[in-house]
Amino acid sequence: MAEVTIEKNEKLANMTFGSIYPHYLNRIKKHKRTKEELDQVILWLTGYDQSILDSFIDGNGTYRDFFIGAKMHQNAHLIKGVVCGYRIEEIPEEFAIYRDCRRMEKLIDELAKGRKMEKILRTEK
pLDDT confidence tier of residue 19, bands split at 50, 70 and 90: very high
Q: Report H helices in 1-95.
A: 6-13, 17-29, 35-46, 50-57, 63-69
Count H helices and E strands in the chain, helices first: 7, 2
Per the structure, the count of domains in the chain is 1
Angle CA 81–83–85, to nearest 5 = 105
Domain for residue 64, yes or no?
A: yes
* Structural domain of 33: 6-120
Domain of 62, CATH number, reads 1.10.8.290
Q: Residue 124 has what pLDDT?
A: 73
Q: Residue 125 has what pLDDT?
A: 67
- The predicted model scores a pTM of 0.94
Rounded to a whole number of angstroms, the CA Rg of the chain reads: 14
Task: Return the closest-CA partner of residue 57 out of 72, 42, 37.
Answer: 42
Domain for residue 109, yes or no?
A: yes
Domain for residue 1, yes or no?
A: no
Q: Are 82 and 2 in contact (CB under 8 A)?
A: no
Span 96-123, pLDDT tens digits:
999 999 999 999 999 999 999 999 999 8
In whole angstroms, give the CA distance from residue 45 to residue 58. Answer: 19
Q: Is pLDDT above 70 for 3?
A: yes
**Residue 1: half-sphere exposure toward Cβ, Cα within 13 Å:** 12
Span 23-43, pLDDT tens digits:
999 999 999 999 999 999 999
